[in-house]
Structure 1
């Protein structure tokens, strides 16, 4: 008898602690030795020492790796992996932005690979992620982005999903305005792409809609006043909620294009996403054509969520795009790639390779409209 296997599912493996002072949960952690993966900023601001002190109260000794750099490459992960092995850690803590959490995930991923080549099964340490920016949602996802030979590579593996996420918005109160804008838009793109993904479900839709509302209601306030505790909490929560969604649905070509573009021209991931967003929505919704497909319908539903006119798919999509443009303008996001000072001939010379890289990116398969290489080139050109 043939059995039909149903693959639809929603998975959330991470326990989430949130709001002010939730960092103190570390006092209750069980373990003996911890490797803390961080960056020098968290050390300077004193949050790294807080983590060490709270773990000490739990009887856990700490080894610290602060070699994290933006867009971590395999050499940085190799350095962290060496220290992880030497420490004998049964607890792994990542505190910092997406790069710190991605580095910790990279350590887990490659250590498991090495162990498996020797026929061993790696016991997973208790993995705790503490984000210091409100953008990646990496604290609840099985995604990691690392750089190898100058290109950003997306790793997707359930093993690297954190066991515990701690969302204490005091850790993000010193974030510069530009980073608030970049990471906030990244949250928005995560939620939008998860909502229009070919793997979207009722469960992920609910998360996406809530995340998008939280961003529209709170991001500009946080951008203007980082001391506003309520806005900080809500934006950080929105980031995590969007992460819960896209770890189940995958993303789309906005991220594929941003990975390739940002890695080549060294532009922050959130800013890259922001600059590409309008043209990607226009392509997915086929606004140059009938605008009557799945993606247009989904964007129009998001317009309704924001209480914008959406009598037709086209009207809803256009009004949603206008709302996004207004938000980006309030966050002082540039209108186009040219505004970043990128030379046009240099940009055009890179287009073929950028498009080929984006086409092969692991975020592309769940995009609602499958693009050709030429489609991706045209999107880049439109954004310049």
Structure 2
């Protein structure tokens, strides 16, 4: 017996930020990053709150890969303001931090006073990148700077109540950000599709997200003002988020979390570098005869088929054509094909190898990977990812 959660109310389309005028509250705590304030992007939110005569406080200390210290500071600021709603504006880092801030603040308050029955604080997520899908997921990734480790937190209580997808907010994203975040969307969707927790429901969403990425990511990368491509990628990000919050992910993300934390490679880029090698490992073609393949290889071949990458029903050809298409897409987006190309020093990689293998094995995403790796296997995958081919 399966389970599938639909998630928050999602308002999508150009100009949908006007929904903020309809929220029924007097005090809003806004979580964002300094760039949103400096660039004036935050005014697209605060103008609507001003029009609705809603009082607000802006917490704009969020940095990429938000550390525990920033979450702690945000909890204090939120507690002092005591809002009825939280609005988070930004990329995955801002939304993930806001989730952790809101979640732990609620947990702390309940712990301090067991009789306390606070009215739930309304949580609204407004993404400004098309990548993480964090606006509809129960996931939040927080960084422990001391150990250079990213911790994926998972709890249904972190799912926002409302998500607003307005393509106007992503028009100014630089092309390299568009590339990295777009490949994050593709990784979310493909990992959800082959996850041990996948279902007909999550597969339908993952399939649509994959098709949208292959149809629109290059367009959005080449012309940031292509509003149709921007809107389609924004939708793809959210749809993939709905897929993986139900089906979970796999070792692509387990490895990307520690690669990002240890070698300071942006999350989407880390996923993109890993994706062809992880598909090859999971499909495990070498272990099978010409006409006998794993269920995972067959699912990758299904992706190749619905993308019209191959007319063959042979799983081997399907897997290989999918890997080729992903490598071509990466080249067109100017994304490196190995950790060595991404300027990770060999001695730095080799001295960290044992540690990153152990951390990736114990990452929460590993348990739903379709092929469960042992440390020796995962070490070999990391080595191939470093060298490329």
Whether these two folds match at TM > 0.5 is: yes
SS for the counterpart of 1:212 is helix
TM-fit CA distance, 1:122: 4.8
Q: Which position in structure 1 is the counterpart of 2:209?
A: 211
**Alpha-carbon distance in 1 for matches of 2:330, 2:130:** 16
How much is the aligned-residue C-alpha RMSD, in angstroms? 1.1
Alignment pair present for 1:146 and 2:148: no
Residue 279 of structure 1, aligned match among 266, 277, 280: 277
* Residues 241-300 of structure 1, C-alpha deviations (whole Å, 9 max, x = no match): 000000001000000000011100111000100111111001100023217112101100
**Alpha-carbon distance in 2 for matches of 1:285, 1:13:** 31
Residue 126 of structure 2, aligned match among 123, 130, 140: 130
- The aligned runs of 1:182-201 (5 Å cut-off) are 182-201=180-199
Query: Is the alpha carbon distance of 1:325 and 1:79 closer, same or farther for their aligned partners in structure 2, counting shifts above 3 Å?
Result: same
* 41-50 or 362-371, larger mean C-alpha shift: 41-50
TM-fit CA distance, 1:49: 1.7
**Alpha-carbon distance in 1 for matches of 2:253, 2:118:** 31
**Alpha-carbon distance in 2 for matches of 1:289, 1:45:** 53
* Residues 18-60 of structure 1, C-alpha deviations (whole Å, 9 max, x = no match): 1111111111111110000011221123221221121222231
Query: Is the alpha carbon distance of 1:256 and 1:50 closer, same or farther for their aligned partners in structure 2, counting shifts above 3 Å?
Result: same
**Alpha-carbon distance in 2 for matches of 1:11, 1:121:** 25
* 287-296 or 200-209, larger mean C-alpha shift: 287-296
Residue 166 of structure 2, aligned match among 168, 171, 174: 168
Q: Which position in structure 1 is the counterpart of 2:345?
A: 343
Q: Which position in structure 2 is the counterpart of 1:269?
A: 267
CA contact (8 A) 1:63 1:87 kept: yes
* 180-189 or 100-109, larger mean C-alpha shift: 100-109
Query: Is the alpha carbon distance of 1:322 and 1:122 closer, same or farther for their aligned partners in structure 2, counting shifts above 3 Å?
Result: farther
- The aligned runs of 1:79-98 (5 Å cut-off) are 79-98=73-92
SS for the counterpart of 2:75 is helix
CA contact (8 A) 2:7 2:242 kept: no
The number of residues matched between the two structures is: 378
Residue 378 of structure 1, aligned match among 371, 377, 380: 380
* Residues 282-327 of structure 1, C-alpha deviations (whole Å, 9 max, x = no match): 1100023217112101100001110122321111111111111111
Alignment pair present for 1:73 and 2:67: yes
Q: Which position in structure 2 is the counterpart of 1:3?
A: none
Q: Which runs of 5+ in 2 are unaligned?
A: none
CA contact (8 A) 1:30 1:58 kept: no
SS for the counterpart of 1:36 is strand
**Alpha-carbon distance in 1 for matches of 2:296, 2:363:** 20
Q: Which position in structure 2 is the counterpart of 1:240?
A: 238
CA contact (8 A) 2:67 2:143 kept: yes
**Alpha-carbon distance in 1 for matches of 2:261, 2:242:** 25
Q: Which position in structure 1 is the counterpart of 2:3?
A: 9
Q: Which position in structure 1 is the counterpart of 2:175?
A: 177
**Alpha-carbon distance in 2 for matches of 1:109, 1:74:** 13
CA contact (8 A) 1:139 1:240 kept: yes
CA contact (8 A) 1:115 1:121 kept: no
TM-fit CA distance, 1:62: 0.5
Q: Which position in structure 1 is the counterpart of 2:294?
A: 293
* 108-117 or 71-80, larger mean C-alpha shift: 108-117
* 333-342 or 152-161, larger mean C-alpha shift: 333-342
Q: Which position in structure 2 is the counterpart of 1:49?
A: 43
SS for the counterpart of 2:341 is helix
